[in-house]
Amino acid sequence: MEDFSYQKPKTVDDAREAYSASADGLFLAGGQTILPVMKLGLAAPSAVIDLGGIEGLRAILVTDSVVSIGAMATHATVAASGDVRQAIPALSDLAGMIGDPQVRTRGTIGGSIANNDPAADYPAAVLALNATITTDKRQIAADDFFVAMFETALEEGEIITNVEFPVADAAAYAKFANPASRFALAGVFVARTGNSVRVAVTGAGTCVFRVADMEAALAKDFSATALDGITVATENLNTDIHASAEYRGHLIGVMAKRAVEAAQTKGGGK
Amino acid sequence: MTDVHIGDAVRRVEDQRFLTGQGNYIDDINMAGQARAAVLRSPHGHARINGIDTSRAEALDGVLLVITGRQWLAFGMGTLPTKTGVRKGRNDTDINEPPRHCMAIDTARYLGEPVAFVVAETQVIANNALELIDVDFEPLEAVSDAVKALAPGAPRLWDDIPNNLCIDFELGDLEGTEKAFAEADHVITLDLENNRVTAVPIETRGCVGSYDAATETYTLYNATQNVHANRDMFAENVLGIDKQKLHHVAPDVGGGFGAKNSAYPEPPMVLYAAKKLGRPVKWINTRSDSFLGDTHGRGQTSRVQIAINNDGTFLALRTETVGGIGAYCWTIGPFTPTGGSARTQGGPYTFPAMYYRGRAVFTNTAPMDPYRGAGRPEATFQTERIIEYACRKLGLDPVETRRKNLMPPEALPYMSPMGMDIDCGDFPLLFERTLEMAAPDTFAARADRATKAGRLFGFAIAPYLECTGGAPKEYAGVQFKEDGAVTLAVGSHSTGMGHETVLPQLLAARLGIDFDRIQFTQADTDATPIGGGHGGSRGMEVGGNAVAQAADEIIVKATPLAAHLLQSDAAKVTFADGSFSDATSGASVSMTEVIEASMDQEPGFLDTGATFERGVISIPNGCHAATVEVDPDTGAIQITGYWVMDDFGTVINPLLADGQVMGGIVQGIGQALTENIIYDDSGQLITGSLMDYGLPRADVVPNMVIDYYEGAPTKKNPLGVKGAGEAGCVGALPAVVNAVLDALKGHGVVHMDMPLTPEKVWRAIRDKGAHDPEALMRDAC
Amino acid sequence: MPKISLTVNNKPVTQDVEGRTLLVELIREGLGLTGTHIGCDTSQCGACVVHVNGQPVKSCTMLAVQADGAEVLTVEGVSPDSGLNPIQQALHEHHGLQCGFCTPGMVMTATALLKNNPDPSEADVRHGLEGNLCRCTGYQNIVEAIMAAAKTMRS
Ligand SMILES: Cc1cc2nc3c(=O)[nH]c(=O)nc-3n(C[C@H](O)[C@H](O)[C@H](O)COP(=O)(O)OP(=O)(O)OC[C@H]3O[C@@H](n4cnc5c(N)ncnc54)[C@H](O)[C@@H]3O)c2cc1C
Ligand code: FES
Ligand code: FES
C-alpha cells in the first residue's frame, strides 16, 4: 500500500475542507471496502480523511414514522438496535446478513451506499424503503442516488451524513448469497406502505434496481402468488462464474416471493 | 506421572502454545539483519520473454538484489527433477520430463510462474521494485484444459513434446476387461470430471534463509511438509552443494494437505540471495500469489465404464483419465493421474477384471502435485459414481447392488486386478454399520418433512478403499537424559495432525513411562538422519512404527539391566505394562527405574535410533453416508446428516483420528459443492481469491458421526495401523454427490459434475436431467 | 508519522506509525505479538481477529491509526495468569484445533460471540464463525468447544 497523510477531522465541515485541500483525498468510514481495495493497490489516495472522529454521525434516531441512521452507524449497531428492529425489522435483519461479525463491527451504512457495490445489501433497503440520503449539501431521494455500478449521485467530496427510512407497513429482505464471497447473488427487498409497494433488487444487475411489474402486481394483491408469471428481463443482468443472467433472473422471482411471504408473517413495523 | 495407553484420547500438548498465541510459524521468525524478498510472477498463461530490464528496480533505494531467469541459469543453478514413481508409460515409453528451473527461462508457461526475484531492505521496497521491472513479454497461445491440450493442433508447451503428453500410462487387464465388456448384459459409460482444486492451508508458504560463511552452511526455515527430501533437492539438484551443508528446519506449519510437500522454487532463490548478500533473507507468500503458484490437485477428466449384469453383478471396470499436470513435472505431479489414481479403482468391490489408462498432460496452469488423497479420492469417485449411475440407468437399488458386490471377508487376502494387496478388513460389516447409523427407517419421515418444507430429500452410501503412500522409511531416535527427560525425534512430520502428542503417547504407552517427560522433535534435518515428512497418510503407519520399533529395541537393551536389578537371568525376565518381572521370584522393576539405573552405565546406554521400513502399503477402508436436502427453487443444497465407519486398523488416539476424518470430509464437501479452480482459455485464473474460490465455512458443514472398526488390524506392520489422514477426503466426494443426485431423481437428473453449484442444480432440474454421458471424453478416447 | 497511543492487552503503548500501517502490522511487527496471524490479503480468513474496544475486528482491515486511543485485545491477552480461559480450555478438550493457525482468530471471535450472546444455539455459533476460516478441523469440534465453553461460563 502506498503511504498517505491521515486526518481525523471532528466536524463535517473540517472533513470537507480537508478533502478540498488534498490532491487526491479519500473518505474513510469502516474501511471494510476501501482498505482491501487499497491493499491490492487498486486505490492509492494521497490523503485519507477518517470520518470516524465526527460527532453525531453514528446516531440512530427512531420515531413513529422515520428511522434515521447516521452514516457512520455500523452494520452491527443497526442489527442490534432494538428501536430499529421494532420499527423496520427487515432493516435490522439485512444489517445482520452483511458479511461476517468482524465486517459488521466496522462497516457502515454510509460507506456501503457510497460505494454502491452491485452486490451490496443496503442499497436494496434504501431503494425499496424509499429512503432519503442526507449529505453535507443536500437531500437525495433513493431513486436518484444509485446511478451505476460503483457510482452514485454524490459529487466530489460530498459527505453522506445520514439516511432516513420511512417506516413501512410491511417489509422483508430475502438474500441468496454467493457461496464464496457471501455477497448477494440476488437479493430482493420488498416494502409495502399503504397501497404502495416497492421492490428493489441487488446482486443481479450492475446496480440496484426496482421491478415495476412486481410492484404493480403486489400493489393490487400483496401475496407471493401475485408474482406468478412475472419475469425480469435478463439482458441487463450479470453473468459471471457464480451465476448466469438467466439464473439470476430466476432467483429474483424466487427471492421476491420469499420476501413477500416473510413480510406478511413478520415484516410488519408499527 | 501421566499414564497413557494406546487407544486413549490423549489431549494434545501442542495446543497450549497454539491457544495462547505462542506458536512459532514461519512468519514469526525474524533474523537479525534480515532482508525481504518478493517474486515477480508471470501475468500471462504462456508468453515468450524477449527481455527483462531490471535497471529501474535496481536503482530504487533499498533494493539489494534482482535476479532474472537468464541470470539464474548463468549462476549454474540446476533443475528440480520429478520423483514420480511412475516413469514408464504404455509400450515401454519413457516419461517426458522437461527441465524445471526455479525461474522461467525465456518462456513463462503458467500464470504466476516466477520471472524475477527481488531482495530489498523492506517488504514495501521489494514489492515496489517488482513494479519497476520491465519485462518484454510476447504472449503465446495457451492451453489450460488437458483434453484440449491433447488434441491435434493444440498449442504446444514444449517444442519437443508432441501433444503435450507427459506420460500415457496403463494398468490392469485390458484383455480380460474387454472380454467381460463383450459378455456382460450391460456396459454403462459415464464421462465425468473431478474438478481442479487447491489446498489453501490457512498459513501461506514462506521461508527464511541464512548462510554462515565460516562453516559454509546454509540454514533454511521453511513452511514445508518435507524437510529431508526438499533439502536434498535444493542442495544437490539446484545449488549443487553437499546436502550436509544445508540445515533444513520446519517450524510450526499452519496446515499443508499436500500443498507444502513439493520442492518449490522460492527457497533456493532465498538461499542464493542469503549467501550473496551475506545476510538472512525472508520471503512470505501472499494469499493471492498462493492461488497462482501453490500446487493444485485433482483436475481429472475421465471416461468410466462398468460391465454389469441384469442381476447387478459387477464384471469389469474400465477408466480412462486425462489429467492436466501444469507446465512441468513437479515432485510427483505425473503420478497422480496415472499410478496414483489407478490403484484403488474398483474400491472394496469384487471386480473380476479392471483396466485403467491415465494420461498426464502439460497445460498452461499452476503445477499439479499431491492434494490430500492424491488419486484415491479420484478413483473412489469414479468407481462410486459409475455404480450409482448404472443403478439409476438399470433401475437397480443402489444399496442392494453395492451390498451384493462387496468383497466378503472370506475373500481376503486378495490381490486386486490393480495390484493392491488387500489383506484384511470386513467391508460388508462396515457397510451395514454405516447404514444402521444413518437409520434408513427414518428416511421416509425425513423425506416427508422435507417435502412439506418444499425441499427434496436424498441419501447415499459410499464405501471406500484407500491405500497409504509416501516415503517408505522412517527413523525414530530416543535419548534418555540425566534429568529424567526423554527426547524423541522422528522424521515424519505433523503440520497439524498432532504427532507431538500421539508419538510420545505411543512411546510412553509402549515403555510404560511418564508421558510428560517426553520432549518431541520433528522436521529438522539435524535431528534425524532420514525423514519422510508428511504425505500419504504415513505418519502413524511409518513414523508410528518407527517409534514402536525404537521402544522395542529399548526394551531389549534394558532387559539385561533389569535382570541384573532383579538379580535374575535375562532369559527369565519378561516385560509387560511398563515393568520387567521375573515370574519365578515374582519380583519386578519398572522401566522408569531401569532407565534411572542406566544412568550409571556408559552414556547413552539405552539411547536408540530405529529405522522402520514399510514392506507393503496398507489398506485403510470404510464407508461414508450422507443425507441432503435440496431446495428445488434455488438449487441450494444442505447436507443434513453425515456418518462414517472407518477401518484404520488399530486406532492409537481416537480424538486425533476424528480430527483427521472431519477435516478431510469437509475438504471433500468443499470440493463437491463450492471449490473450483477455473482457468480461461488464455491461462488466466478466474477463481484466484477467497472471494471467488469458495472454502467451506462453519455454517455449511453438517455434524459428522464417526466410528471405528478395530477388528482387523493389519499384519503388514507391527502396530496394525492403516493410515487415517486422507480417508475423509476419499469418501466424501461420492457420498455428497450421490446423495444430491438421489434427491433429484424425481426430476430425472442422473449426473452433474462438481462443484454442485446452486445454478447447476437448478438447471439440471429445469432440463429434466438432459445429459450427454459421453460429452467430455469424446475427443480423447 | 502519526504518533498513536492505545492500550494493548491492558498495557499502554505509544508508537509512531505510518498512515498506511495496518493494525495487524503494528501488533505483529511493532509490538512483536505474533499470535495474531495473517492468512489472506482480501479480508476473508479471520486469522487476524482481535478486539478493538471489546468488539471483534479483522486487524488486517483496519489502520493502526484508527486504533488511536482504543483498547486492543489480542490472543496473548485473554488467558488468566495461569492456564487457559474457558474457551481455550474447551478448544483443547474438544480437539478444536489442529495446525493452530486459525486458532487465535477463533479464540477472539468466540470470546466476542459469547460476550454478545452467552447462550447461543449451535446455529448461532456456526453463523458467528462466518468470518473465520479453518482448513483443518472441519469446524465441528470448534463449534462443540464453543458450546461447551458457553455452558461453563454460564455456570
Ligand atoms: C469479508 C467481507 C464481506 C463483506 N460482505 C458484505 C456483504 O455480504 N454485503 C454487503 O453489502 N457488504 C459486504 N461487505 C462490504 C461491507 O459492508 C463494507 O462495510 C461496506 O460496503 C463499506 O462500508 P465501510 O464503512 O467499510 O466503507 P469504507 O470502506 O470506509 O468506504 C467505502 C467507500 O465509501 C466512501 N465513503 C464512506 N463513507 C462515506 C460517507 N459518509 N460519505 C461519502 N462517502 C463515503 C469511501 O470514501 C469509500 O470510497 C463485506 C466486506 C468484507 C471485507
Ligand atoms: S488476514 Fe485474512 S482476514 Fe485478516
Ligand atoms: S487448525 Fe489449521 S486452520 Fe484451523
- Residues B600 and B738 placed together within one structural domain of the fold: no
- Smallest Cβ–Cβ distance between C19 and the set A3, A31, A36 belongs to A3
Residue A42 touches partner B, C-beta closer than 8 Å: no
Boundary (domain end) residue, out of C30, C45, C77: C77
Tell how far the Cα of C97 is from the centroid of ligand 3, in angstroms. Answer: 6
Mean pLDDT of B239-252: 98
- Taking an 8 Å cut-off on Cβ atoms, the answer to whether C100 and B15 are in contact is yes
- Residues C10 and C62 placed together within one structural domain of the fold: yes
Mean pLDDT of B480-489: 96
Question: Who lines ligand 3 at CB under 6 A?
Answer: B 202, 255, 496; C 97-103, 134-137
- Residues C65 and C100 placed together within one structural domain of the fold: no
- Residues C90 and C73 placed together within one structural domain of the fold: no
Instruction: Write the CATH number for C150.
Output: 1.10.150.120
**Contact residues on chain A for C41, CB-CB shorter than 8 A:** 36, 39-40
Tell how far the Cα of C46 is from the centroid of ligand 2, in angstroms. Answer: 5
Boundary (domain end) residue, out of B586, B613, B640: B613
Boundary (domain end) residue, out of B551, B583, B613: B613
- Residues B593 and B481 placed together within one structural domain of the fold: yes
How high is the pLDDT of residue A270?
39
- Taking an 8 Å cut-off on Cβ atoms, the answer to whether C35 and B663 are in contact is no
- Taking an 8 Å cut-off on Cβ atoms, the answer to whether C131 and A102 are in contact is yes
Residue B674 touches partner A, C-beta closer than 8 Å: yes
**Interface size between A and C, measured as CB pairs under 8 A:** 78
pLDDT tens digit string along B634-683? 999 999 999 999 999 999 999 999 999 999 999 999 999 999 999 999 99
Mean pLDDT of C19-26: 97
Q: Could you tell me the residue range of the domain that residue C107 belongs to? A: 86-154
Total domains in chain B come to 3
Nearby residues of A255 by Cβ (< 8 Å), 6 or more positions away: A174, A175, A176, A186, A187, A188
pLDDT tens digit string along B375-423? 999 999 999 999 999 999 999 999 999 999 999 999 999 999 999 999 9
Q: Could you tell me the residue range of the domain that residue B523 belongs to? A: 15-22+471-613
Nearby residues of B765 by Cβ (< 8 Å), 6 or more positions away: B632, B635, B744, B747, B749
- In degrees and rounded to multiples of 5, residue B130 shows phi and psi of -55, -35
How high is the pLDDT of residue B739?
98
Burial class (CB in 10 A: 0-12, 13-18, 19+), B579: middle
- In degrees and rounded to multiples of 5, residue A37 shows phi and psi of -65, -45
CATH of segment(s) A5-53: 3.30.43.10
What's the complex ipTM?
A: 0.98
- Residues B461 and B475 placed together within one structural domain of the fold: no
Residue of B nearest to A2 (CA): B124
Residue of B nearest to C44 (CA): B690
CATH of segment(s) A56-166: 3.30.465.10
Name residues of chain A where pLDDT drops below 70.
266-270
Question: Who lines ligand 1 at CB under 6 A?
Answer: A 26-34, 36, 51, 71, 98-99, 103, 106-108, 110-112, 114-115, 117, 120-122, 154, 159-160, 182-183; C 43-44, 61
- Residues B554 and B451 placed together within one structural domain of the fold: no
DSSP secondary structure code for residue A205 in this structure: B
The atom of ligand 3 lying closest to the CA of B18 is 1
Cα angle at A30 between A170 and C142, to 5 degrees? 80
Residue of C nearest to A106 (CA): C57
- Residues B461 and B491 placed together within one structural domain of the fold: no
**Nearest-neighbour CA in chain C from A52: distance (Å):** 8
pLDDT tens digit string along B122-145? 999 999 999 999 999 999 999 999
- Taking an 8 Å cut-off on Cβ atoms, the answer to whether A244 and B759 are in contact is yes
- The mean-pLDDT minimum among A121-130, B485-494, B531-540 falls in B531-540
Grid cell 502428542 — which residue?
Answer: B501
Residue A101 touches partner C, C-beta closer than 8 Å: yes
- Residues C73 and C20 placed together within one structural domain of the fold: yes
Nearby residues of B289 by Cβ (< 8 Å), 6 or more positions away: B39, B41, B112, B204
- Residue (of A96, A101, A111) closest to A152 by Cα position: A111
Per the prediction, chain B carries an average pLDDT of 97
What region does B91 belong to: left with phi over 0, alpha with psi -120 to 50, or beta?
left
Nearest protein CA to atom 23 of ligand 1, as residue? A111
Tell how far the Cα of A104 is from the centroid of ligand 3, in angstroms. Answer: 23
- Residues B64 and B81 placed together within one structural domain of the fold: yes
Q: What percent of chain B has pLDDT over 90?
A: 99
- Taking an 8 Å cut-off on Cβ atoms, the answer to whether A176 and B634 are in contact is yes
Amino acid (1-letter code) at residue B761: V
Boundary (domain end) residue, out of C16, C48, C77: C77
- Residues B394 and B413 placed together within one structural domain of the fold: yes
Instruction: With respect to residue B156, please indicate whether it lies within any of the assigned structural domains.
Output: no
Mean pLDDT of B222-241: 98
List chain A domain ranges: 5-53, 56-166, 170-266
The atom of ligand 1 lying closest to the CA of A43 is 49
**Nearest-neighbour CA in chain C from B24: distance (Å):** 8
Boundary (domain end) residue, out of C52, C77, C102: C77
Instruction: Write the CATH number for B603.
Output: 3.30.365.10
The class that CATH gives domain A170-266 is alpha beta
Boundary (domain end) residue, out of B582, B598, B613: B613
> How far apart are alpha carbons B28 and B681 in whole angstroms?
39
How high is the pLDDT of residue B130?
98
**Contact residues on chain A for B198, CB-CB shorter than 8 A:** none
DSSP secondary structure code for residue C66 in this structure: G
> How far apart are alpha carbons B106 and B46 in whole angstroms?
11
DSSP secondary structure code for residue B12 in this structure: P
> How far apart are alpha carbons C21 and B356 in whole angstroms?
55
- Smallest Cβ–Cβ distance between A101 and the set C43, C65, C112 belongs to C112
Instruction: Write the CATH number for C70.
Output: 3.10.20.30
Confidence of residue B205 (pLDDT cuts 50, 70, 90): very high
How high is the pLDDT of residue A269?
45
Which is it for the CA torsion C40, C41, C42, C48, positive or negative? positive
- Residues B514 and B561 placed together within one structural domain of the fold: yes
- Residues B101 and B223 placed together within one structural domain of the fold: yes
Question: In this structure, are residues A153 and A147 in contact, taking their beta carbons and an 8 Å threshold?
Answer: yes
- Taking an 8 Å cut-off on Cβ atoms, the answer to whether C65 and A182 are in contact is no
SS3 call for B605 = coil
How high is the pLDDT of residue A267?
59
Total domains in chain C come to 2
- Smallest Cβ–Cβ distance between B496 and the set C40, C99, C143 belongs to C99
How high is the pLDDT of residue B2?
64
Mean pLDDT of B440-463: 98
**Interface size between B and C, measured as CB pairs under 8 A:** 167
pLDDT tens digit string along A179-210? 999 999 999 999 999 999 999 999 999 999 99
Instruction: With respect to residue B780, please indicate whether it lies within any of the assigned structural domains.
Output: no
- Taking an 8 Å cut-off on Cβ atoms, the answer to whether B762 and A181 are in contact is no
Instruction: With respect to residue B775, please indicate whether it lies within any of the assigned structural domains.
Output: no
- Residues B577 and B657 placed together within one structural domain of the fold: no
Dihedral (C-alpha) B261, B264, B266, B267: value to the nearest 10 degrees? 60
Tell how far the Cα of B294 is from the centroid of ligand 3, in angstroms. Answer: 18
- Residues C72 and C95 placed together within one structural domain of the fold: no
Confidence of residue B781 (pLDDT cuts 50, 70, 90): confident
How high is the pLDDT of residue A268?
54
Instruction: With respect to residue B630, please indicate whether it lies within any of the assigned structural domains.
Output: yes
